[in-house]
Chain A
Amino acid sequence: GAVVSQHPSRVICKSGTSVKIECRSLDFQATTMFWYRQFPKQSLMLMATSNEGSKATYEQGVEKDKFLINHASLTLSTLTVTSAHPEDSSFYICSARGVSGVSYNEQFFGPGTRLTVL
Chain B
Amino acid sequence: GENVEQHPSTLSVQEGDSAVIKCTYSDSASNYFPWYKQELGKRPQLIIDIRSNVGEKKDQRIAVTLNKTAKHFSLHITETQPEDSAVYFCAARGPNTGNQFYFGTGTSLTVIP
Range class of the B interface residue count: 20 to 34
Q: How far is the CA of A114 from the CA of B43 in the complex (A)?
A: 12
Chain B: minimal CB distance from A26 (Å): 14
Stretch of A73-81, A82-90, A104-112 at the chain-chain interface: A104-112
Chain B residues in 8 Å Cβ range of A106: 34, 46, 49
- Is B106 in contact with A34, judged by CB distance below 8 angstroms? no
Q: Is B61 an interface residue (CB 8 A)?
A: no
Size class of the A contact interface (CB-based, 8 Å)? 20 to 34
Instruction: Tell me the nearest residue of chain B to A106, going by C-beta.
Output: B46
A46 to B2, CA, bound (A): 13
CB distance from A61 to the nearest CB of B (A): 14
Determine which residue in B32, B44, B49 has the highest number of CB atoms from chain A within 10 A of its CB, and name it: B44
Q: Is B69 an interface residue (CB 8 A)?
A: no
A116 to B73, CA, bound (A): 36
Closest to A105 in B: B32
A117 to chain B, nearest CB (A): 18
Residues of B within 8 A of A54 (CB): none
B residues contacting A by CB (< 8 A) are 32, 34, 36, 41-46, 49, 87, 89, 98-101, 103-106, 108
Task: List 10 other contacts, CB 8 Å, given A43-B103, A93-B44.
Answer: A34-B99, A34-B100, A41-B106, A43-B106, A46-B103, A49-B99, A93-B43, A107-B101, A110-B43, A111-B42
